[in-house]
Amino acid sequence: MSRRSRAMRAFPVAFSFLFTTVAVAHVTLDVREAKAGTPYRAVLKVPHGCDGSPTVKLHVRIPQGVIAVKPMPKPGWQIETVRGAYGRSYPYYHDDITEGVKEIVWRGRLADDNYDEFVFAGFIARDMKPGPIHVPVTQTCEKGETAWTEIPAPGQDAHALKAPAPALLILAQATQPASDTKTYKAGNLVIATPWSRATPGGARVAGGYMKIVNAGQQADRLVGGSFVRAGRFEVHEMAMEGGIMKMRPLARGLEIPAGATIELKPGGYHAMFMDLRDGLKEGETVKGTLVFEKAGTVEIEYRVGPIGGGAPSGDAKGGHSHR
């Protein structure tokens, strides 16, 4: 083989290496997809400084629809936040929020030949439309500054931009078909589509999910229940505390306000089945009860969906997943 032929064969490899190097040189998000209506942990990857100069500040602007944001502290770095009104209210678990962190600034020092990550936690609003959103980042160095803020025009390739803003693709929040809804009544309460997830071998806990509608004029409270294959039934909440998602039992139960709809789902309020005696298999139904402070006890059945999946849809396998 001639020297020229060997050089031509080496060229695609060299070009591929160069392209990869350039592609990862930008400030980017580690996880680039998130489903509407779910918590999101943003990890911004900073691979270098500004033309050899150390990074001393990272300024992040939070896009609209990313709410309840909390930055993670970094040893050796100071954090500043700018709070403000969202412009409208967003449903967030059992409440609505109208303001929060809109900008984050980390100040410290990161050498040009070092790599680091900057983290914040938040929640993707339930009504976010599918498609990309962008997180503008300004990287200030001891000498110079790079604004990773360019947003591609419709149809434009982001790789064509010199300093693209980190992008996050919002995925649609799947919904359960109305025809699959099974309801139960307890006084003025309507319980819709109770379901659970199949469990792996040896599992000792499982979760229970449903929607509860209070059509009455007074609040009620879910204070307990039972599940025929579990030794204990508890009502739990998952919520962000200090930038970390934590689960805790609700000692007084879960309030169902008058005229409200409360959804028990993965990542939020849910029933917890403790000390399981038998595993749960996809496609089966399992009996249980719910106990309300005013409406009393109602017998229900849980449909079991796939491991890690969402609410079962008819008799079909699968379902949508929750992060």
Q: Which residue ranges form the domains of the chain, and what is each CATH number?
A: 26-171 (2.60.40.2230), 178-305 (2.60.40.1890)
Q: How far is CA 118 from the centre of its chain?
A: 18
How many percent of the chain have pLDDT more than 90? 63
Kindly give, in sequence order, each residue whose CB lies less than 8 Å from that of residue 100, ignoring residues fewer than 6 positions away: 67, 68, 69, 83, 84, 86
Q: With contact defined as beta carbons under 8 Å apart, do 256 and 262 qualify?
A: yes
pTM confidence score:
0.51
Rounded mean pLDDT, 179-208: 87
Q: With contact defined as beta carbons under 8 Å apart, do 189 and 264 qualify?
A: no
Mean per-residue pLDDT over the chain, rounded: 84
What does the angle CA 67 – CA 73 – CA 75 come to, to the nearest 5 degrees?
160
What pLDDT was estimated at residue 172? 80
pLDDT single digits (tens) 90-112: 887 667 889 999 999 999 999 99
What pLDDT was estimated at residue 13? 36
What pLDDT was estimated at residue 311? 64
Sign of CA dihedral 77, 80, 81, 82: negative
What pLDDT was estimated at residue 153? 87
Of 225, 228, 196, 202, residue with least CA distance to 298:
225
What pLDDT was estimated at residue 157? 75
Which helix H or strand E contains 15, and what residues bound it? helix 3-23
pLDDT interval class at 264 (50, 70, 90):
very high
pLDDT single digits (tens) 113-125: 999 999 999 999 9
Rounded mean pLDDT, 46-52: 93
What pLDDT was estimated at residue 182? 83
Is the pLDDT at 24 greater than 60? The verdict is: no
**Dihedrals phi, psi of 186, to nearest 5 degrees:** -140, 100
pLDDT interval class at 50 (50, 70, 90):
very high
